[in-house]
Structure 1
Amino acid sequence: MRQRTATWIFLATLSFVWAVSTPLVLAKEKSSQKESVSKEKSAGDKESKKEATAEAKEGKKEVVASVNGTPIYMADLDTEMNRYEKQMSMTGQAPDAAKLAEMRKKVLDSLISRELLKQQSQKLGIKVSDEEVAAQVDALKKRFPSEAEFTSTLKKMNLTEDKLKQQFSQDMAIKKMIDEQVANKVTITPEETKAFYDGNPDLFKAPEMVRASHILIKVDPKASPEDKAKAKEKIVAIQERIKKGEDFAAVAKEVSECPSSANGGDLDFFQRGQMVGPFEDAAFKLKPGEYSDVVETQFGFHLIKVTDKKEAGVTPYDDIKAKIEQHLKQDKVNKELTAYVDQLKSQAKVEIFLK
């Protein structure tokens, strides 16, 4: 029911500071040749392939930057660019050549910054245990429907589980260092949070919201008139049960064909624009405790019960101050982290060879 924007959990979870940098895994190409090819041509083909393979390997070994003597390869940059382009394509964006060139510079800069932070974490002797890494990987796995889908996603990202663990270990060490050297030294005062609240009133306007439960009997959009009529009869019969006094939540658990049935049909609070039109229109017309008549949407037939309502207004300061503090701290940490990386750069030998 709720209209959600799809996100790729794996991409969002894979990194702590910058996108994880991994060596590019090159797939081996399969080729078949007819036995009738002459030995001379076959030998020539083999020699050409050797040269092409050597050129390809040499291209991937091309050094695009160096951080205190540690090279950053074209393969690293290509891998990160591929990830960014995938993320952009998922949002329907198609960057032009100029934007891609600008993005490429930013990605390289992030790889350099990440290498500096990694080297600094090693210099400070920051360690991450195998148990900590395993816990992170297990937590990530649980966000996938199955082990097979987790493995499939790794494959799409040109990763193995061992490589993922290595990257988590490096990134967790970086995060520990950032916490120790930057984040833990940042504080936000109550005066700062109150000043932000008072200075940005538009940010804290709360829209009208309702909390509703529903019972759904699904109808396929391509269903025949007969099947649609049967579904309508079913929801009407359920409506009669509610009218006779049966508990809405109990009936929802028993008969609703929406995943929310597990919670008695509860959909929690939502504002306008989060639900499909007919459902939303019906819900916002009801008062807490009231039931709707049968409502038809593209999903099927619904019975709706509004359980709570919040009028439009301004979110009270006490209700939002913790989130303001978190926002202000993250903003300040980001600025301090930028300064910290700039300081590391000033003390390091960084060379860029990318044209």
Structure 2
Amino acid sequence: MKLQGPLSIALSLCLAAPATILAADKKKPAAPAPTEAAPAAKPLTLPDTVATVDGAEIKKDELEKAFANLLAARKMSPDAIPAEQRLQGYRMVLDEIIIDKILAKKSADTKVTDEEVNAQWERIKGNFGSEAELKKQVEAAGETLDKVKKGLHDRLAEEHWIDSQVKDKVNVTDAEAEDFYKKHPEAFKTPEEVRASHILVKVDKDAKPEVVEEKKKAAQAIADRVKKGEDFGKLAQEISEDPSAKENKGDLDFFRKEAMVPEFSNAAFGMKKGEISDPVRSDFGFHVIKVTDRKDAETVTLEKAKPQLLAFLKNQKKQAAVEEVIKGVREKAEVKINLPEPPAAAAAPAPAPGAITAPAK
């Protein structure tokens, strides 16, 4: 079930942490060449009442606002989307609103405590660093903190009601866990891992040979200092040109071989714990590597895997049960949709990059 309204705006504003400089480079598709400006999207006229759910009307203003919020969270403009794709987007957002209306009615008498709301509120606030920043972002989207909190309360009530409908359908037995374990042996194998630290001396890919040699000598001098007993972490903080070294003292934590660029991984996985490398060249420059720990490849036993496996299987059952509950209440509700019919599938254009996808339930 996807959260709608102001709360979904708040949640969508959370940012992922950047990857380390050494993460293996993934090929990205080239940006499309500039083209002539696309023609303005054709006007799409919506009826004043876009749908009714058990006699209750959903107005176009509510749909347009929810659609605009979704696009804003994805940094997209409605004018950049062709009319037929906007219609598809409206229909998907409208379906979410319809389900929310049905669930809100079903969960109207479901109890939600202040402690639950406050706990969720603190978690959301933590994603922004402060309530002031959260308020700033929410108000920029044309909402208020009170509406966000009300939406949070309503969403918790819906979740509690759904939980009450599926609680007898999510039990998992030890026999089911054992059966899954036997049928999916590869899922329980963990490859060899190495924990390493590094000090980076940057070198441009197209650097002249004399510059490369100079940088290599600088890296070798660092390696010699470490081998003579100087503290690796302290040196990494002081002189490594990997920006993250100021915070992590060059420590890259445990990683699998494929997680780093090949030159670095091949060197690190060929070293013993505690060993210091001579300079290793990669596209980033020269690395002085210290292996600080290793983990051998292993197959996780059923006994060790069982707690997480039971939780995984229970979650699978719950997702399936939730989908069935939502499908059931949707089919039983009296719903009338007044949006124009979408174009035939055969005539629909290929989706453009960044086209709207259906929100997850």
TM tier, shorter chain? 0.5 to 0.7
Aligned sequence identity (%): 37
Matches of 1:225 and 1:153, distance apart in 2: 51
Q: Is the 8 A contact 1:215 1:261 kept in 2?
A: no
SS of 2:148 mapped into structure 1: helix
Q: Is the 8 A contact 1:209 1:311 kept in 2?
A: yes
Question: Cα gap change, 1:261/1:323 in structure 2, threshold over 3 Å: closer, same or farther?
Answer: farther
CA distance in 1, matches of 2:306, 2:71: 37
Alignment-derived partner of residue 270 in structure 1: 255
Q: Which residue of 1 aligns with 2:55?
A: 69
| Contact 1:22/1:79 (8 A) holds in 2 | no
The 8 Å contact of residues 128 and 172 in structure 1, kept in 2 or not, is answered as no
Shift of 1:231: 6.2
- Do the aligned partners of residues 309 and 341 (structure 1) sit closer, same or farther apart at CA in structure 2, a change above 3 Å counting? same
Aligned residue identity for 1:350: V
2:227 partner letter: K
1:316-351: CA deviation from partner (whole Å, max 9, x where unpaired): 333433332222112211222123224434554333
Mapped to 1, the partners of 2:165 and 2:93 lie a distance apart of 24
Matches for 1:310-325 after TM superposition, within 5 Å: 310-325=295-310
Look up the match of 1:327: 312
1:300 deviation in Å? Answer: 4.4
Residue 182 of structure 1 aligns with an amino acid whose one-letter code is V
Aligned length: 301
Structure 2 unpaired stretches of 5+:
10-42, 341-361
Q: Distance in 1 between matches of 2:198 and 2:139?
A: 40
For residues 119-165 of structure 1, give each alpha carbon's deviation from its aligned partner in whole angstroms, at most 9, with x where no partner exists.
2221x332342x54444333223334677865665466554433322
The equivalent residue for 2:127 is: 143
- Judged with a 3 Å threshold, the aligned counterparts in structure 2 of structure 1 residues 266 and 102 are, in CA distance, closer, same or farther, namely same
1:68 & 1:19 partners in 2: Cα distance?
Answer: 21
Pairwise mapping of residues 107-186 of structure 1 onto structure 2 (< 5 A)? 107-122=93-108, 124-129=109-114, 132-144=116-128, 150=134, 153-154=137-138, 157-183=141-167, 186=170
SS at match of 1:113: helix
Residue identity in the other structure for 2:5: S
8 A Cα contact 1:209 1:309, kept in partner: yes
SS state of the match for residue 174, structure 1? helix
Asked whether the equivalents of residues 223 and 277 of structure 2 are also in contact (C-alpha less than 8 Å), the reply is no
Q: CA deviation at 1:189?
A: 1.4
List alignment gaps of at least 5 residues for structure 1. Answer: 1-16, 26-55
The match for 1:53 is: none
1:151 & 1:75 partners in 2: Cα distance?
23
TM-score by length of 1: 0.67
8 Å Cα contact 2:107/2:157 also seen in 1: yes
Q: Which residue of 2 aligns with 1:214?
A: 198
Q: What CA distance in whole angstroms lies between the structure 1 residues aligned with 2:329 and 2:62?
A: 21
What SS class does the counterpart of residue 351 from structure 1 fall into? strand
Q: Deviations over 1:271-326 (max 9, x none)?
A: 23322343233223323332222234454442212233344454433343333222
Assess, with a 3 A threshold, how the Cα gap between structure 1 residues 249 and 67 changes in structure 2: closer, same or farther: same
Compared with structure 1, are the counterparts of its residues 102 and 202 closer, same or farther at alpha carbon in structure 2 (3 Å cutoff)? farther
